Amino acid sequence: MIELFIISDFQATQWSLETPAEESQLRQLLQGFETRAAMFLVDASGPPPTNLSLKSFQVPEQVALTGRPFHAEVTLVNHTSEDQTREIENPGRPVVRFSQPVTVAAGAEQKITATLKLPEAGSEVLLEARIASDSIATDNQIQRVVAGRKHLEVLLVDGRPAPKLAESASGFVKLTLAPAMSAGTPLAADSSPFIPTICTSGNWRRPI
């Protein structure tokens, strides 16, 4: 006598297949088992778990600049049949600490945008979003790496270099990117995140 024990929490997402054909195939498989064995379905689920998960963590800017705000988009999913409120936070290192309460409707997804700030430059910055622990701990934190920079260096290749700003092909672009620098002010006084360097198309290893 063969006994088959299937031990599962029988989650609908797993046991309800996508198409009627798949459902029928599953039913046939289970019926086939019954002809070969005594089948026992053992429900290991217990009371419904409370689960809110972090689904995604995006940083659209991709580069975090020192002292300047940048945005992170976090998507949360509520897997329960009741509205859930959680505090979403990042731990505060290396970015300035962020914390915000979020209420996600039952069975819904919600995207929030966090404004973060990087106090010190580094090569790569590890960001983390976190919510309080619940029934399933694995999906309560999510991490992303972004580049952390003090400035962004921009190379302008000028096909018509000239000493006067108005005559140079790159003059106004440079002025737009770094106004104070273009006016001859020391770099420290420039609030622009860009450091433009101009070169010619024939010799772009040697800045003008």
Min separation Cβ 36 and other proteins, Å = 4
Per CB under 8 A, which region of 22-30, 63-71, 99-107, 175-183 contacts other proteins? 22-30
CB of 22 to other proteins, least distance (A): 7
Q: Which of 24, 31, 45, 99 binds other proteins (CB under 8 A)?
A: 45
142 binds other proteins (CB under 8 A): no
Beta carbon of residue 37, minimum distance to other proteins (angstroms, whole number): 6
Residue 26 near other proteins by CB under 8 A: yes
Nearest 5°: phi and psi at 36? -105, -20
Which of helix, strand or coil describes residue 37?
coil
Strand partners, 117: 69
Phi, psi for 164 (deg, rounded to 5): -85, 135
Decide: is 48 part of the binding site for other proteins (CB under 8 A).
Answer: yes
Query: Nearer Cβ to other proteins, position 77 or 112?
Result: 77
53 contacts 76 by C-beta, under 8 angstroms: yes
Distance CA 160, CA 201 (A): 9
Q: Is there a contact between 75 and 110 (Cβ–Cβ < 8 Å)?
A: yes
Task: Tell me, by CB under 8 A, how many residues bind other proteins.
Answer: 38
CB of 54 to other proteins, least distance (A): 13
What Rg, from alpha-carbon coordinates, does the chain have? 28
What gap in Å lies between CA 139 and CA 69, rounded to an integer? 27
Q: In whole angstroms, give the CA distance from residue 52 to residue 57.
A: 15
**Residues numbered 68-107 forming contacts with other proteins, rule: CB under 8 A:** none
Could you tell me which stretch among 21-29, 89-97, 101-109, 192-200 binds other proteins (CB under 8 A)?
A: 21-29
102, 93 Cβ separation under 8 angstroms: no
Beta bridge partners of 41: 6
Output 14 or 203, the one with its CB closest to other proteins.
14
Taking contact as CB under 8 A, which single stretch among the options 8-16, 57-65, 157-165, 200-208 is the one that binds other proteins?
8-16
Burial of 151 (0-12, 13-18, 19+ CB in 10 A): middle
Identified binder of other proteins from the candidate list 132, 136, 145, 183, rule CB under 8 A = 136
- Give the interface with other proteins as residue ranges (CB under 8 A): 1-9, 11, 13-15, 17, 22, 25-26, 29-30, 32-33, 36-37, 40, 42, 44-51, 135-139
